[in-house]
Structures are given as C-alpha cells and as structure tokens.
Amino acid sequence: MGESGTLLRELLRQRRVRGYPSFCREYSKAAAVLDSSLTHRYPSKAQFYRWLSGELISLPYGEHCRVLEEMFPSWTAEQLFEPYAGALNVVPRPVQAAVPMSSGELVMVHPTRSAVPYDLWTELITSVRANLDVLVYSGQFLVEQHNIVPVIRAKVKDGVRFRFVVGDESADAVVQRAVEEGTTGGLEGRVQMMRRYLREIIPLPGVEVRTHGTVLYNSIYRFDDQMLVNGHAYGSLAGQNPVLQLRRVEGGHMWRHYMESFDRVWAGAREESR
C-alpha cells in the first residue's frame, strides 16, 4: 500500500477509525440506517485494504457504495476512491453526528422527482396494505405513468384506505403557481384532469377525495410506513425538485412533521362530490 492511498483512507484516519474491525463496526452502523440486511455485509479484510490503497479496477458493488456514502454524506463513492493528494484541510463531520437518533427515518434524497426510480413508485403503490395518502395540486402522473386506478380498485376490496387531496384549479394559489412555474393554464388543466380520473373511484369504499386551495410547499405521498416528500422551489416544476424518501420509525420527527402538514390541509379541504 502506498503512502497516499485513497480519500477514503484519509477520512477514516481523521475520524480515528483504525483497522479492519473498527471499520466493520462503523460500516454496520451506517448500513443499519439504510437496510438492516446490509449490516454484516461489509467487505472482506483483503477488499478493505484494497479500498484504502486504491488498487481497484472499478468501484465496489452498489450496496457498498450506498453504505459508504451514508458514512460520508459529503462525498460520493467516486470521490471516496480517488487518490488522496494531501490537499484536504478540513474533513466534514458526518451528518449523523449532528442529528437525533430518529435520522434513520431518512432513507434517501433523490435529486429530482424524475430521478425517483419507476420501480420504486411501483413497489410503493402495489405493496400498500393499509393507507395511501396523497397531497398534490395535480399528481396526474400517478394515473398516467403508474396506472394507480386499477390498483385502487383491487385494494379497496382488502380494506385499504385511500385519501387524495388535490388542487382546486380555480384557487388563487393554484393559478399563481402556474404563473410562477411558467405553465399558465397548463397546471389548471392537469388538476382538472386528475379530478376527472379520481371521480371514477370516489364511489368505492375507503376512497376519499378532497380539493384544496392552499399554498403547496411540498407534495406528500404516503404509502403505509413509507413516504415521498417532493419539495417545491419557486419558479420550477414539481418534477424538477428534490424528493425525500422517508420511513416511519419510533420517535421520528420528520414523519410526524409531514403527516401533520397533510392532516392540516386535509381538515380544511372540501369533499369532492360523488
């Protein structure tokens, strides 16, 4: 092993993680945040030292990269395996050290809604067993891209509850959002279309649809104990904004925070006529 090695080696050194056993303990802690099945799937001792020396043909398997990025959230896997040139003066502290234990509820941050894998949406929608809640202005993509209506028809027979809060296309906040995102008339049309789609399933038991005219800061998609939160930055389309992927954990602040937001809008929303 050369004296320089990889950036990963330097970060571990500055965090005082010395030797293979210490690394495995830290690896397992980070893996548990992502998926408990990954906790004991750390690299072999030989692999570990190749990671430090940079004697790699390609990046490690995806699950290893995910765990390493959880350990060092300020760095990508590609950066971690670059040669360390001795120019790093400040090593950022891990985000986990500065947040409460409930941070395990944050599974992943997707850079845009468009970057959320199609298969993830499909899995979340089709695996619902008790509750699916949606707070949006339109959410039309759920019907046209993910074919959610047949899923709803099938799952209400098993007692699954569905709550949709969609925009009122005539509300000032909706009209203003369309102007801000440069789709004057377009957003209102998508809202109308979504309301038309949902009208078909309103008569089903366990399906509730309401409309709202609030200023929407986040679109919320809740699937039992999983949630996607799509933020809205001024002047951009919803699909261009980051998405938080959350899971419900005991004492989790973020889950409670967003569900309370959903409930406030729900309470003030108007029931859609059947």
> pLDDT by residue (tens digit) across 135-173?
999 999 999 999 999 999 999 999 999 999 999 999 999
In whole angstroms, give the CA distance from residue 8 to residue 76: 11
Mean per-residue pLDDT, 77-94: 65
Sorted by sequence, the CB contacts under 8 Å of residue 4 that are 6+ apart come out as: 83, 84, 85, 86
**Lowest-pLDDT range, 68-77, 98-107, 151-160?**
98-107
Dihedral angle over CA of 67, 73, 78, 80, nearest 10: -90
User: Rounded to the nearest 5°, which phi and psi values hold at 221?
Assistant: -125, 110
Whether the predicted pLDDT of 62 surpasses 70: yes
Residue with tokens 């992502």: 34
For residue 4, the 8-state DSSP code is S
Is pTM beyond 0.95 here? no
> pLDDT by residue (tens digit) across 28-37?
888 887 777 7
SS3 per-residue string spanning 63-118 = HHHHHHHHHCCCCCHHHHCCECCCCCCCCCCCHHHHCCHHHHHEEEEECCHHHCCH
Q: How many CB atoms lie within 10 A of CB 157?
A: 10
In whole angstroms, give the CA distance from residue 168 to residue 111: 28
Q: Considering the chain, what is the average pLDDT of its residues?
A: 86
pLDDT, residue 5, reads 85
In whole angstroms, give the CA distance from residue 9 to residue 6: 5
Bridge partners (DSSP) listed for residue 246: 106, 227
